Structure 1
């Protein structure tokens, strides 16, 4: 016999709320322990109902910062959050993930998708569309690639400009060549390089290269560790 999954349904869209209620009622292992059109007014009921899966629609979390969702996720730790009828906007998706959502279904999700997602989320498994899952992989990949430059920043406390200069020094470029490439004066480059010497404890350029070699300073983007889509830095 399957264990019963207790579900609290919050949907601002009445038609969607009724449709979801019918879908849930057809599953012998699902039990609705509460229904509400508003998340803010339902937080107390959710906390006292031993809810396992909290289903929310896009209307109920329409605040762009997802602050209420984050608050509920913190206060009702036993409830796993499944968002439905959602946008495929990457920024909205990432905000919801940060706020504590474990499942994320788009507007075109079928009733079978909802049922499968409820069961998965109840087992603490993450659920999201393939195209958004790919986004998470990209973020992890970029964060991993950014680790060397982050380590260099922490280890030597170099400024952004100084971190940018290290790989150019490693390439054997002269002050004049670096200045031309970065559109700065040669004296400015010279000053930066002397500060780099002091911060890494080097006597010359060769020592700078040697001391930073294991950190792989090839990544010098100011947004290292973040995913940029268009003009938006998402994570």
Structure 2
């Protein structure tokens, strides 16, 4: 039996991609599906909210290179008018910080650069039905993100004369909980190298030989509590 509207509900898709060839390729793939239509497309994200709303699309398909992740906040503006609009990002890398940022912004689907056309079609259908799409390689990162949100954070009393910057002081509770540099980087949306630099400076400032000794030297003994 041929694929048709009787099998899947009609889905309208808006394409946001700077690469014209990619837009045309995606358009051809989607148009072969009887239940999918291209509601609109653009390479320019300057008026993306108005364009998506005017298109009345069900799903916004976003090429990873087309939009800085910080600009994904446009989704909240779209959903204030059309709350059921879903977003799917394609052509992404395995950077956990980028993945966390996209999920936090409200993206429901996240496909890596090696995704096939069939993967994209399946993901569009899934997010249109209110499901989430996450690459298996990033599932554990998602679980860790949820676990951190649920785990009580210890607020440390720190010596005021420690010489640490505000950011360095923010790292102390996570170091005390055994977070790796990569996990700390993901938590604060920093690069792993930036965290390494912070830790190196902290070791030097307090005269510590390792990370846990940093905690011991700047924490006021007994001065910690569970944050609300």
Structure 1 residues 24 and 142: CA distance shift in structure 2, 3 A: same
* Residues 231/139 of structure 1: CA separation in 2 closer, same or farther (3 Å cut): closer
- How far residue 84 of structure 1 moved from its aligned partner, in angstroms, is 0.6
Q: Which runs of 5+ in 1 are unaligned?
A: 151-158, 163-183, 185-220
Q: Does 1:128 align with 2:134?
A: yes
Instruction: Name the counterpart of 2:145.
Output: 139
Q: Which has the larger radius of gyration?
A: 1
Residue in 2 aligned with 1:99?
105
CA contact (8 A) 2:126 2:132 kept: yes
Greater shift in the superposed pair: 55-64 or 4-13 = 55-64
1:4·1:30 contact (CA, 8 Å) conserved in 2? yes
* 2:96–2:186 Cα contact (<8 Å) kept: no
1:227: how far off?
A: 8.4
| Alignment match, 1:222 | 173
State the partner residue of 1:44. Answer: 50
CA distance 1:80–1:96, shift in 2 (3 Å):
same
Indicate whether 1:161 and 2:161 are aligned. Answer: no
What SS is found at the alignment partner of 2:66? coil
Deviates more, 1:39-48 or 1:5-14: 39-48
Which moved further from structure 2: 78-87 or 115-124? 78-87
- Deviation of 1:6 (Å): 0.9
State the match for 1:232 in structure 2. 185
2:30–2:37 contact (8 Å) kept in structure 1: yes
Aligned residues: 168
Separation in 2 of the partners of 1:131 and 1:73?
29
8 Å Cα contact 2:14-2:57 kept in structure 1:
yes
Q: Match of 2:116?
A: 110
